[in-house]
Amino acid sequence: MSDGTGENRLLLSLRDVSLSYWLKRGILRRKKHYALRGVSFELNAGDSLGIIGRNGSGKSTLLGLLAGTMTPDTGTVVRHGDIRASLLSLQLGFVQYLSGRENAILSGMFLGMTKHDVEQRLNIIAEFAELGDFMDQPLSSMRARLGFAVAFQLDPDILLIDEVLGVGDTAFREKAAQVMKERIQSQSSTVVFVSHSAHMVSSLCSRVLWLDRGRIVQNGPADAVIAAYEDALLSHEPIPRQGESPTPVEAPVFVRKKGTAKVFMLRDNTLLPIHSWEEFSGLGGRSADIRVLPEDKFKELKSSLSESG
C-alpha cells in the first residue's frame, strides 16, 4: 500500500467505466456505440503509462475522460486529491490577428494556467521558441514553435499526450521531441501517452495499456504488452477480449490493392467480396477492422484458406 505522500501515491483510478456515443442514423433514429466498456485501471504519481490500440479502439475517448472533457455513462473516475489532468494541446485557441504574446497568454489560459502564470513565463516561452523580439509581431511562421513552447510550460499533475512529439522545422522538431521524451521518462511527472507506434511507446513508457474495441486487452509492463500487441497485429485472428474465448464472429476485413482496391470479408474461412459500404456494414463490418494487405500476403491467405477449406 502506498504511503499517500511518496512517489507512488495513487492519483487517479477508473472503476468499471463505460462511455457511449449516439451515432446519427437519420433524423430521429440513432444508434448507441460504446467507445469504452468496463475500463478499470489506476494511475500513480511518476507513472508513464502508454496506451496503444488500433484506430477506433477508444484511445482518444479515454484521454478525453482523463482530461475531464467527457463524462462516463456508468462507472466512476476518481481523482485522489486536487488532481489536474491536462491534454498537451498545441496552438490551442490561436488566432491569426493577435500578436505572439497575446496568443501565448490566451492559449496558456485555455490550458489551465492563470493569466499571471503565463505572463511570468513569457520570457521562458519566447526563449524556448527562439522568438525573442517577434513576440509582439502578428502570429505567422512562429505559430508552430510558439504553440509548443506554450503547451510545454503546462505542468499539470497528469500530462496527457496524444501522438504529438515534435513540431516545426527540423531543428526545432528535434529539440521539441527531446524535451518531451525527458518529460515523459522523468520520475517527477506523471504522463499518459497515446500512440499508434508500438516502438515509440515501448521506448518511452514503463507500463502499457492495450485497448481494443473499447475494452482493455492487457495492462502491464511495456515489453510484455507490446510484444503481445505486435503478435496480434501480425496474426489474422481477431483479438480475444479479456475473459472471453476467441470467437470469430467479427472477422477482419482485407483490402487488396491492385489498381482499384477490392474489399473482402473473412467469414467461415471464405473470402466474401464486398461491393458497397452498406453491404459491408450490413455484415457487421466496421471501419476499424479494415486492414490493408499487400498482393503477396493476400495470395498467401487465399491459398491457406483453400487448403484448409
Partner 1 sequence: MNAANGTPDHAATTAPVPVTQIKPARGWVSLELGRVWRYRELLFFLTWRDVKVRYKQTVLGAAWAIIQPLFMMVVFTIVFGRLAKLPSEGIPYPLMTYTALVPWTFFASGITKSSESLVGGANLLKKVYFPRLVMPISNVFSGLVDFALAFVVLIGMLVYYGYYPTVNMVFLPLFLLLALVTSLGVGLWLSAMNVQFRDIKYAVPFLVQFWMYSSPVAFSKSIVPENWRVVYALNPMVGVLTGFRWALLESGSPPGLEILVSCCVAIALLVSGAFYFRRMEKSFADVV
Residue 95 in contact with partner 1, rule: CB under 8 A: yes
Is position 28 an interface residue for partner 1 (rule: CB under 8 A)? no
Interaction between residue 34 and partner 1 (CB under 8 A): no
Piece in contact with partner 1 (CB under 8 A), picked from 91-99, 122-130, 199-207, 238-246: 91-99
Is there a contact between 123 and 113 (Cβ–Cβ < 8 Å)?
no
Shortest spacing between CB 103 and partner 1, in angstroms: 9
* Residue choice 7, 16, 55, 69 for contact with partner 1 (CB under 8 A): 69
Q: Is 55 in the site for partner 1 (CB under 8 A)?
A: no
**Cell matching residue 226:** 507490446
**How many residues form the binding site for partner 1 (CB under 8 A)?**
45
How many whole angstroms separate alpha carbon 184 and alpha carbon 189?
Answer: 7
Place of cell 487448403: 307
Residue closer to partner 1 (CB basis): 86 or 218:
86
Among 29, 97, 260, 308, binds partner 1 (CB under 8 A): 97
| The dihedral sign for the CA sequence 52, 58, 60, 63 | negative
Computed from CA positions of residues 4, 1, 41, 236, in that sequence, does the dihedral angle turn out positive or negative? positive
Q: Does 87 bind partner 1 (CB under 8 A)?
A: yes
Q: What are the CA-CA distances from residue 126 to residues 75, 87, 148, 170, 287 (Å)?
A: 43, 22, 11, 19, 43
| Spatial distance between the Cα atoms of 230 and 260, rounded to a whole number of angstroms | 28
| By the rule CB under 8 A, 40 interacts with partner 1 | no
- The verdict on 242 binding partner 1 (CB under 8 A) reads no
User: Is 164 a binder of partner 1 (CB under 8 A)?
Assistant: no
Nearest to 12 by CA among 195, 215, 134, 160: 160
The one among 55, 74, 281, 304 contacting partner 1 by CB under 8 A: 74
Q: Which of 8, 34, 41, 110 binds partner 1 (CB under 8 A)?
A: 110
**Rule CB under 8 A: is residue 73 a binding residue for partner 1?**
yes
Q: Determine the Cα–Cα distance for residues 209 and 216; give it in Å rounded to an integer.
A: 7
What letter represents residue 13's amino acid? S
Task: Report yes or no: 148 and 167 within 8 Å, Cβ to Cβ.
Answer: yes
Considering beta carbons, is residue 21 or 41 the nearer one to partner 1?
21
| The amino acid at 1 | M
Cell triple for 175? 529539440
Q: Which residues bind partner 1 (CB under 8 A)?
A: 1-5, 10, 13, 21-22, 64, 67-83, 86-87, 89, 92-93, 95-98, 102, 105-106, 109-112, 114-115
